Structure 1
Amino acid sequence: MTREQPGAPESATYVYAVCRRLDPAALSGLTGLAAGFPVRTLPLGSLTAVVQHVPAAEFTEDAWQQRLSDRAELERCARAHHEVVTAAAAFGPTVPLALATLYRGDERAQQALGADRDRFAAALARIEGHAEWGVKVSLPATASESPQSAPSAPPRNGGGAGRAYLERKRGLHQAREQHHDRALRTAEDIDAALSRLATATRRLRPHTQEMTGERHRLQVLNAAYLVTTVRERELLEAVELLRRRTGAEVEVSGPWVPYSFAGEV
């Protein structure tokens, strides 16, 4: 990603994506990140960039840092960015660029993006006819110790009781480890089954319980799969079968623009 802080110009060029030939009418009516400036195409030789003029003073590095610290504003920008990328992708393979990809003007954008034309072309060929599907797998977290299962403190003068207490405590520890191992094996089995249907896969960091807000469930797999359109139904059928076979909660989302597989440029 190339991010440049606009200097003197009154407007900067914001870049959403790079694709092949695109009818500008496909972008009609999109607001993008800056109302009053049309979302448009910018030629890059045999390729096309999807861009928009934005007020330079409102899209400086400092302004972006403020947006990143404002959850509502960040979400608005991300949604606007994604809406434009999705509109372009409806007409053919599209390489989305990262949020806040800015240049000092159209000419500078053409120079910088044109220098990566071969990489863009390779990425477009790689994702053509594909979509990204996200899969998250969760299982019950290790059950917290109930009053009945938790070992009570041993009597002060009870040697046998003390040994029993330590044995129960050791047993609970082993049960937690076994539960965790089974959960990881389930995640690996599900990933292996879905990977066989995908052209490419990407393992992402699972969300913690603090992030999900689900104290009683543990996310053991967070992955993205690049799947051809002709295998999408097969993927969904495999997910349903895996749900029944493993008892895991398997959340599937898609089809998405292949953000995870387009490659960063």
Structure 2
Amino acid sequence: MTERASELSDADATYVFAVCRDPDVPALAALAGVTGGTPVRPLSLGTLTAIVQTVRAGEFSDEAWQARLSDQRELERYARAHHDVVSAVATSCPTVPLPMATLYHGEQRAREALLKETDRFHTALRRIAHHSEWGLKVYTTPTAPGGTGGRSARPVSSADRSRPAPGTGLAYLDRKRTAQERRERCQEEALRAAEAVDADVSRLATASRRLPPHPQPSGERRVQILNATYLVAEHRSAELALLARTLQERTGSQIELSGPWVPYSFVGEV
């Protein structure tokens, strides 16, 4: 839906933050938006409302965004400003957030483009009404060489006693093979635990999405084995928190629950 910034003149443009139903209009005046200049305001779309702000088109040209991408602090400032408006609106009504830097050449162009998508907006609003997004990550700690990864060592069997004595070449290879088998077994157990966590939380949630695991910082021993997000009814948030604690105790995995968030992941492509 966004018009390319390069197609906009260096004049005023309409920045769209979100589309919602029955927002708290007086509260919009307190929001700074992405520029801190003109006020954030509603734009009527019939039964829906877009949350917009007038900005200088030149601030969102291709050249301006290329420069912004190389300035992490400035990029984060814009992203946070966009998110702050969306979050504030979502506190009073179901809200479909639009991507950062959704821009149109004037209110009329914005209204015409957004009206073409009203069916999709209505579908998304029905889906997310009285729901929030929650993130859930599951971690495991890999078994250290020769260790047990925090699990009890398995009993010594007759096969263990019959293995070659330490110091021989065969004993070295046998230890390497045993360590590899232990790592593989622990990894399989961790993955099964992650699948069990996802299955249980998905049963509580209205919808869920699996995301790629995040790479861990250098020196971090934990390995992320599940990164997922869930759409959960607001009245079940306490139940979700209790379930996360119960699953951590049951599986022995490290579970991190974050939220509630505006349900960005469940509004579809709008």
Structure 2 residue 192 is matched with structure 1 residue 191: no
Secondary structure of 2:41's counterpart equals strand
- 1:255: which partner in 2? 260
- Counterpart residue type for residue 227 of structure 2: N
- 2:22: which partner in 1? 21
Of the three residues 217, 238, 242, the one matched with 1:237 is 242
Distance 2:143 2:61 in 1: 47
* TM-score normalised according to structure 1 size: 0.89
* TM-score normalised according to structure 2 size: 0.88
- 1:152: which partner in 2? none
In percent, how many aligned pairs have the same letter?
55
Distance 1:142-1:209 versus aligned 2 partners, 3 A rule: farther
- Structural mapping, 1:35-184, within 5 Å: 35-144=36-145, 161-184=168-191
- CA deviations 1:61-87 (Å, max 9, x no partner) are 221222223221121111111110011
Cα contact 1:12–1:55 (8 A) shared by 2: yes
- 2:9: which partner in 1? 8
Structure 1 residues not aligned, in runs of 5+: 147-159
- Counterpart residue type for residue 207 of structure 2: A
- 2:159: which partner in 1? none
Distance 1:221 1:3 in 2: 37
Distance 2:240 2:122 in 1: 27
CA-based RMSD: 1.8
- Structural mapping, 1:187-226, within 5 Å: 187-210=194-217, 213=218, 215-226=220-231
Q: CA deviation at 1:221?
A: 0.9
Distance 1:86-1:180 versus aligned 2 partners, 3 A rule: same
- Counterpart residue type for residue 245 of structure 2: E
- Counterpart residue type for residue 23 of structure 2: L
Q: CA deviation at 1:7?
A: 2.1
- Counterpart residue type for residue 263 of structure 1: G
Cα contact 1:97–1:264 (8 A) shared by 2: no
How many correspondences in the alignment?
251
Distance 1:50 1:214 in 2: 43
Cα contact 1:34–1:54 (8 A) shared by 2: yes
Q: Which stretch shifts more, 60-69 or 40-49?
A: 60-69
- Counterpart residue type for residue 215 of structure 1: E
Distance 1:222-1:214 versus aligned 2 partners, 3 A rule: farther
Structure 2 residues not aligned, in runs of 5+: 148-166
Show structure 1 runs of 4+ deviating over 4 A.
Answer: none
Q: CA deviation at 1:34?
A: 0.6
Distance 1:142-1:13 versus aligned 2 partners, 3 A rule: farther
- Counterpart residue type for residue 29 of structure 1: A
Q: CA deviation at 1:20?
A: 1.1
- Counterpart residue type for residue 4 of structure 2: E
